[in-house]
């Protein structure tokens, strides 16, 4: 299947990630057939998509975009019928993923790409359940997919170059920013980078060096603002002035190495979990997750519009 021919996407699994994907696909004018075996999944999907829709309208809908193009199916095979691309969002358990991908593979034509949203599982392991593993790729978004452009596209040992090319072209065509990392690793690229930051954040809480609230502010009002514009290497390059990243590393390389050597390796004990949860609850001071999500999306939308203007 060629990327420019894809008009119908099946979304398998409609939790937080799957529902966000469904809303985004609809906003790009695609037809979406969705399925999820969880009780109440249909109602939750419709409610979530409707909640995301005003934000997507502000971003700008593609020609033909409509909520009426969304259908929900109680069984997997019905949702897959006629689909030209599959976005799988099942649970992060290898045994369940193997079963689900095997069932998807058996129900659709060989030329339809299956993209998995898995946050950490390796395609080489989960694609072995399929008769046609060459069409199975990682299509890992960053939450929330209806707003954040990044998609990591990685193949397993049996994935064909044509499937990678198709997924990359499809995501690009619908306005995403796909990247193709060079090798499979647990957590892929973005989650590995996040994990490094989380590890040190939990270490700082565990040692009493900083509170949960202070750490969140340190990122949100500090380097997080720069990271929203440029990545870590580009920021290092700008820090070096006319000499660029080479100048930065010449002068900050030794201190940077000493910071790395001092990084912690915390264990996520029950005590540390309780401490983080208690401090997070205290910092929120009664704010609801819904209000935080609304505020996050409002600011993120402004950032995306600013980026779009700069890129234009």
pLDDT tens figures, 86-134:
999 999 999 999 999 999 999 999 999 999 999 999 999 999 999 999 9
pLDDT at site 182: 87
Which residue range(s) make up the domain with 164?
3-179
Domain count, the chain: 2
> Which residue, 156, 179, 202, sits at the end of a domain?
179
Q: Are residues 12 and 34 in the same domain?
A: yes
- Give the containing element (helix H, strand E) for 88: strand 85-88
pLDDT in tens, 54-97: 999 998 999 999 999 999 999 999 999 999 999 999 999 999 99
> Could you tell me if 122 and 51 are in contact, meaning their C-beta atoms sit under 8 angstroms apart?
no
pTM: 0.90
Q: 194 and 168 in one domain?
A: no
Query: Which residues fall within 8 angstroms of residue 233, CB to CB, at 6 or more apart?
Result: 245
- 124 with 101, same domain? yes
Which pair of tokens denotes residue 277?
């949860």
Distance CA 42, CA 22 (A): 12
Same domain, 55 and 115: yes
Asked whether the CA dihedral 276, 91, 48, 141 is positive or negative, the reply is positive
Any idea what DSSP says for residue 5?
A: G
Q: DSSP string covering 135-167, please?
A: GEEEEEE-SSTTT--EEEEEE-TT--HHHHHHH
| Half-sphere exposure (Cβ direction) of 172: Cα atoms closer than 13 Å | 13
State yes or no: pLDDT of 311 exceeds 70: no
Percent of the chain with pLDDT over 70: 98
- Residue 132, domain CATH: 3.40.50.720
Tokens of 95: 């045994």
Domain co-membership, 154 together with 25: yes
Closest among 56, 100, 49 to 77, alpha carbons compared: 100
Split at pLDDT 50, 70, 90, the class of 310 is low
């Amino acid at each position: 299947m060629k990327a420019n021919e894809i008009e119908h996407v099946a979304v398998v699994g409609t939790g937080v990630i799957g529902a966000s994907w469904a809303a985004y696909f609809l906003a790009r004018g695609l037809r979406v057939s969705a399925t999820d075996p969880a009780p109440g999944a249909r109602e939750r999907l419709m409610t979530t998509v409707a909640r995301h829709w005003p934000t997507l309208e502000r971003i700008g809908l593609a020609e033909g975009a409509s909520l009426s193009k969304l259908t929900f199916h109680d069984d997997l095979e019905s949702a897959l019928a006629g689909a030209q691309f599959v976005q799988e969002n099942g649970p992060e358990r290898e045994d369940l993923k193997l079963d689900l991908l095997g069932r998807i593979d058996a129900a659709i034509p060989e030329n339809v790409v299956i993209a998995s949203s898995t946050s950490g599982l390796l395609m080489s392991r989960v694609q072995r359940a399929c008769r046609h593993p060459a069409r199975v790729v990682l299509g890992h978004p960053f939450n929330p997919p209806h707003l954040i452009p990044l998609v990591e596209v990685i193949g397993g040992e049996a994935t064909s170059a044509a499937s990678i090319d198709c997924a990359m072209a499809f995501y690009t065509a619908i306005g995403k920013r796909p990247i193709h990392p060079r090798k499979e690793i647990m957590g892929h690229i973005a989650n590995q980078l996040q994990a490094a930051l989380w590890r040190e954040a939990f270490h700082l809480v565990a040692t009493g060096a900083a509170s949960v609230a202070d750490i969140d502010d340190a990122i949100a009002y500090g380097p997080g603002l720069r990271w929203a514009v440029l990545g870590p290497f580009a920021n290092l390059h700008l820090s070096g002035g006319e000499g660029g990243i080479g100048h930065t590393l010449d002068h900050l390389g030794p201190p940077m190495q000493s910071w790395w050597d001092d990084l912690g390796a915390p264990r996520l004990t029950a005590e540390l979990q309780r401490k983080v949860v208690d401090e997070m609850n205290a910092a929120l001071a009664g704010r609801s997750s819904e209000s935080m999500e609304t505020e996050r999306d409002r600011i993120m939308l402004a950032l995306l519009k600013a980026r779009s203007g700069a890129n234009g």
